[in-house]
Structure 1
Amino acid sequence: MRLSTKLIPLVIAVLTSNAWAHGGVKCTTLPKEQWKPHTELQAKLIKEGWQIRRMEMTDSCYEVYAKDPKGKRVEAFFNPVTFERVEE
């Protein structure tokens, strides 16, 4: 069975979108001008015992790849305004 040539771009768009990759996590609707700097979140997490590997900015969250204070490897999302953790 062959996919229609019109359907292939749609499938590619869905599979590569941020919503698909991040489970549609929404942290805030506030503009990025109101976000706190990611370095503040990084300092807060390190103080709490996190070991940060990498941080990224999504459309509405700070995404953190790290080991949590218990040593568990995690991908966590944080509200960039409040720094509250947002569950997927």
Structure 2
Amino acid sequence: MRTLIALTLLIGSGSAFAATECTTADKSTWQDQEKFQAQLKEQGYKINKFKVTKGNCYEIYGFDKDGKKVEIYHDPVTGKAVKTEYHD
């Protein structure tokens, strides 16, 4: 019985750590990384770190236009924010 409970917890916890998925589109359709970052900066964002995630997102770490510390995952095709996390 303990083995069954442990296995259930292990399987269930895997979804909690799943990566944010943004797109399955071919990379040839993605926006240019440098132009995308420039657009965000024009909107008032300060980017400390930019990367492409395993879930095919453009992810930024920095500050939003209100000066709040933020981590945002963007769809690299549309530029739409898929997930936003504010940090203290």
By the TM > 0.5 criterion, same fold? yes
- Could you tell me which residue of structure 2 aligns to residue 72 of structure 1? 68
Which one of the candidate residues 76, 84, 87 is aligned to 2:83?
A: 87
What is aligned with 2:4? none
Residue-pair matches, total:
71
- The residue aligned with 2:38 is 43
TM-score norm. by structure 2 comes to: 0.70
Q: CA RMSD in A?
A: 2.2
CA positional deviation for 1:62: 0.3
Q: Within 2, Cα distance between the matches of 1:34 and 1:84? A: 14
Aligned 1:12-27 pairs, distance under 5 A: 20=17, 23-27=18-22
The alpha-carbon deviation at position 24 of structure 1 amounts to 2.2
- Looking at structure 2, the residues matched to 51 and 24 of structure 1 have their Cα atoms a distance apart, in angstroms, of 24
Aligned equivalent of 2:7: none
- Which sections of structure 2, spanning at least 5 residues, go unmatched? 1-9
Name the SS for the 1:25 alignment partner: coil
Aligned AA (1:24): A
* One-letter amino acid matched to 2:34: T
Q: Give 1 or 2: higher strand fraction.
A: 2
